[in-house]
Each structure stands twice: as structure tokens, then as C-alpha cells.
């Protein structure tokens, strides 16, 4: 068994280190975040860091690096207060990955990567028409991680759109039936298959 | 397509709402967090919220509900400053899920759920011997999400242990080869299969 420690980390080549520590956290969610600035320019970017914050009331979080392509997402969220989270499905992983490219601010990844903007019930941020599970959120709060200047962005779920056949009687959404994918690291997309479902655990 | 909005959320039965919004974020990582208090009592708890914060230097985060069984994890981290994150693999999902039961403070989930504590290179927090990918961390900072009193806990990776055959030449860890699983919601465990691996995307 290999032992990685502070000394071996210091000696790592930078891309090697990025790949290693981007895969070591386990599988990640795959979501496209859609935004629009005040002038109406839209932005779409893939995020692998969407995380559950709470169910009642419903909140979701995601981690944002302030100095990368994702800052358009941040600027638009701060400017308008609204954004959408849209699941990435098996059918369009290649297009979804392409949204991670560093497009200029005036280029919409919707158009550049082949997604259709969808506006639903007067919500101002664009949903992804191709996505089967879409969520409309309002910015709630942000937290600066001092260690490396990343941000935790927390939003309140205002709307959700999905086929009601995907929801079972207990409220669970079948992500496998929706064809939602998982991500490992920065580049690999996976299709999860159900192993088992357990009950609420008691001692 | 079903439209869920603020009014329909308010009318939802509480378990239904919990299941719905615990599955809507997409697939999640599956990790066991190991801790020990100052008196030497150990604790082990499953978390589905471990998230990548940074690679260089390496940081991981996770979301913690302050009022649930997981508070033993929090108390021990604050008391000692150290903890371990250990991947959950296909072979032991049932045992791993069992650690989510609300055991009393003086009961170690290692013993109660059938895991072996492992102490490596003088690191004071217990690793999970059965896990193929294990990470030793030092508490770095915490952020209170005001919306619902959850906490983001950020730790610095000090050590990692894994079979070097799991690491490819570019630093990527093969989670599928390790048998690491993903989680959907609170109860379902899945085995992800690789669909495709892309390159760094350019416009």
C-alpha cells in the first residue's frame, strides 16, 4: 500500500496532483448550472460539486473556484440572485463536458455547446431543455474558504421540474431511470447501477 | 412534466420531502469518517457529502448536520483536530450503511458494525482497515450555513493510503477498480460504470 504524505505531495507534478486529489473524494454529481446576466447574456457551466445542504426547507450548495471559467456563473448569480441546476444525462455527457472550456464572457455555452435555453413560469434564469431534472434556485448565502479562496454557494430551491414517473411513492427520485450520470475527477463520466437500497438504520 | 414550487413543497409530507430533496442533487460520494476522542473512544459514521475543495494544497470538505448522530464526529474533530475519510466499497455497503444508526456516544461503530480500526504512522485518528482508499486529515476551518445551521467542515489532507496499482500515470485514481460506490439519497448504493473519459475542454 502506497503512503502519500506531505513530503511526497510537495514533490508531485502539478497535473498529477490535480488528478489525484480530484479523484480521491469519491464519485461526484454532474450538473449544469445555468445563469443570465442583467443584459440577458446566458452562461452554462458544468459543476461536479453540487451538494445537499437541507431538505426542509430545501437548500443545495456548490463549490466555486473564483479564478476560473466558472466566475461568469458567480457574477451572474450575484448580479441577479437566481440560477438553475440541471442534471447531466448519459445522452449528452460530451456536450456537457464541453461547457467546461473557457469561453469568453460574451459567448453563451448554451449555443456554443448545443443546448437549448428554456424559460419556465417567469423564472429569469435559463433551464436546460435537454435535462430531465431541473431546479430553479435563489442565492441564499456564500462562504469563503480561507484555505484556498474557494467559495461555498448556498441556494434555496424555489422550483423543480421533472417527469412524475421518476418519483416513487416515498418521494425518492430514480436517478438511474432518469439516466443521470456521475463524475470521477475532472474528465470521467459514469453510469451508476443500483446495488442495494437499505432502510433507515437502527442500532 | 411535474412542476414543484413553493406551495407544493409546503404541502409535502415530511419523509416524502426528505427523500425528494436528498435525491435531487445527483449522485453522491460514499465515505466513512473515522474519529477518536481524547479518552480514546472511537467513532465511525457514513457521509454522502464529501466534496473536493482543492488539490494544491489538497483540501476536502463535508457537510455536517449539528443535531444528528454525526455530532460525535464533530465533537471528536474539534477535540483532537484529526479525522480520517475512508472510501466505501461494494463489499461492505450494508455494514457501512449501518454506521448511520444512532449509537450512543460510548459505543464505537467500528465494533458495532464490524469494521477494524487501523492506526498508521502515528496518525491519531482511526483508519478503516477494510477500505482500499484512506485519507488522514487535519481540521482547517468550519463555516456555519445560516439558512439551516448545517456546517461545512474543511480539512487538509496530510496522508493518503492506497494500492499504487489504482493510480494511473496521470495521477487519476480508478474508483471503479477500487470498487468504490456512489450513493443516491440516504439509502441507495450504486456501482458506477465508466461511460467515457474526455480531455481538458477547449473552446
B171 in Cβ contact with A18 (< 8 Å): yes
Determine which of B2, B10, B26 to mutate to test the interface with A (most A C-beta atoms within 10 Å): B26
Which distant-in-sequence residues (6+ apart) come within 8 Å of B111 by Cβ?
none
Q: Which of B14, B23, B156 sits opposite A172 (nearest CB)?
A: B23
Residue A138 lies in a domain: yes
ipTM: 0.96
Number of structural domains (chain A) is: 1
Three-state DSSP at B18 gives helix
Residue A82 lies in a domain: yes
Q: Which of A22, A52, A120 sits opposite B55 (nearest CB)?
A: A22
Are the Cβ atoms of B191 and A195 closer than 8 angstroms?
yes
Are the Cβ atoms of A23 and B49 closer than 8 angstroms?
no
Residue B71: per-residue pLDDT: 82
Residue A197 lies in a domain: no
Q: What is the CATH number of the domain that holds A174?
A: 2.30.110.10
C-alpha cell of residue B78: 474539534
Three-state DSSP at B136 gives strand
Which distant-in-sequence residues (6+ apart) come within 8 Å of B86 by Cβ?
B31, B32, B33, B34, B127, B128, B131, B133, B134, B135
Residue B150: per-residue pLDDT: 95
Distance between B125 CA and the closest CA of chain A, angstroms:
15
Q: Which of B27, B97, B154 sits opposite A175 (nearest CB)?
A: B27
Distance between A110 CA and the closest CA of chain B, angstroms:
13
Determine which of A1, A9, A24, A93 to mutate to test the interface with B (most B C-beta atoms within 10 Å): A24
Mean pLDDT over A13-18 rounds to 97
Distance CA A24, CA B52 (A): 8
The three-state DSSP-derived secondary structure of chain A is CEEECHHHHHCCCHHHHHHHHHHCCCCEECEEEEEECCCCCEEEEEECCCEEEEECCEEEEEEECCCCCCHHHHHHHHHHCEEEEEECEHHHHHHHHHCCCCCCCCCCHHHHHCCCEECCCCCCCCEECCCCEEEEEEEEEEEEECCCCEEEEEEEEEEEEECHHHECCCCCECHHHHCECEEECCCEEEEEEEEEECCCCCC
Instruction: Kindly report the backbone phi and psi dihedral angles of residue B63, in degrees, each rounded to the nearest multiple of 5, phi listed first.
Output: -100, 135
Instruction: Kindly report the backbone phi and psi dihedral angles of residue A3, in degrees, each rounded to the nearest multiple of 5, phi listed first.
Output: -110, 115
Q: Give the chain A residue nearest B197 (alpha carbons).
A: A188
The list of chain B residues with pLDDT below 50 reads none
Distance CA A153, CA A99 (A): 20
Are the Cβ atoms of B1 and A163 closer than 8 angstroms?
yes
A-chain residues near B155 (CB < 8 A): none
Q: Which of A146, A148, A203 sits opposite B101 (nearest CB)?
A: A203
Q: Give the chain A residue nearest B112 (alpha carbons).
A: A203
Whole-number average pLDDT of chain B: 96
- % of chain A exceeding 70 in pLDDT: 98
Residue B67: per-residue pLDDT: 62
Residue A124: per-residue pLDDT: 97
Distance between A187 CA and the closest CA of chain B, angstroms:
5
Q: Which residue has the cell 430514480?
A: A174
pLDDT tens, position by position, A38-69: 999 999 999 999 999 999 999 999 999 876 55
- Tally Cβ neighbours within 10 Å of residue A171: 21
Residue A178 lies in a domain: yes
pLDDT tens, position by position, A74-126: 999 999 999 999 999 999 999 999 999 999 888 999 999 999 999 999 999 99
Residue A140 lies in a domain: yes
Distance CA A136, CA A80 (A): 13
Are the Cβ atoms of B203 and A60 closer than 8 angstroms?
no
Distance between B181 CA and the closest CA of chain A, angstroms:
8
Q: Which residue has the cell 414550487?
A: B5
Residue A201 lies in a domain: no
Three-state DSSP at B103 gives coil
Distance between A139 CA and the closest CA of chain B, angstroms:
11
Q: Give the chain A residue nearest B26 (alpha carbons).
A: A29
Residue A70: per-residue pLDDT: 52
Three-state DSSP at B100 gives coil
pLDDT tens, position by position, A120-150: 999 999 999 999 999 999 999 999 999 999 9
Q: Which of B53, B93, B193 sits opposite A63 (nearest CB)?
A: B53
A134 in Cβ contact with B3 (< 8 Å): no
Residue A65: per-residue pLDDT: 87
C-alpha cell of residue A29: 454529481
Residue A117 lies in a domain: yes
Residue A67: per-residue pLDDT: 62
Residue A109: per-residue pLDDT: 97
Distance between A168 CA and the closest CA of chain B, angstroms:
9
Q: Which domain holds residue B67?
A: 27-190
Residue A198 lies in a domain: no
Are the Cβ atoms of B29 and A31 closer than 8 angstroms?
no
pLDDT at A23 over 60: yes
Amino acid at each position: 500500500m502506497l503512503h502519500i504524505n506531505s513530503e511526497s505531495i510537495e514533490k508531485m507534478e502539478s497535473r498529477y496532483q490535480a488528478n489525484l486529489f480530484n479523484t480521491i473524494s469519491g464519485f461526484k454529481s454532474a450538473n449544469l448550472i445555468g445563469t443570465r446576466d442583467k443584459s440577458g447574456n446566458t452562461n452554462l457551466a458544468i459543476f461536479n460539486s453540487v451538494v445537499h445542504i437541507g431538505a426542509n426547507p430545501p437548500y443545495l450548495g456548490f463549490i466555486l473556484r473564483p479564478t476560473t471559467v466558472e466566475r461568469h456563473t458567480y457574477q451572474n448569480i450575484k448580479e441577479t440572485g437566481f440560477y438553475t441546476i440541471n442534471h447531466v444525462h448519459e445522452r449528452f455527457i460530451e456536450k456537457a463536458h464541453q461547457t467546461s472550456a473557457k469561453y469568453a464572457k460574451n459567448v453563451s455555452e448554451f449555443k456554443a455547446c448545443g443546448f437549448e435555453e428554456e424559460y419556465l413560469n417567469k423564472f429569469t434564469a435559463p433551464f436546460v431543455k435537454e435535462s430531465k431534472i431541473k431546479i430553479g434556485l435563489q442565492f441564499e448565502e456564500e462562504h469563503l474558504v480561507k484555505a484556498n479562496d474557494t467559495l461555498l454557494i448556498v441556494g434555496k430551491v424555489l422550483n423543480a421540474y421533472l417527469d412524475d414517473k421518476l418519483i416513487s411513492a416515498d418521494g425518492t427520485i430514480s436517478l438511474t431511470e432518469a439516466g443521470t450520470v456521475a463524475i470521477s475527477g475532472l474528465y470521467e463520466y459514469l453510469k451508476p447501477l443500483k446495488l442495494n437500497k437499505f432502510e433507515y438504520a437502527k442500532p
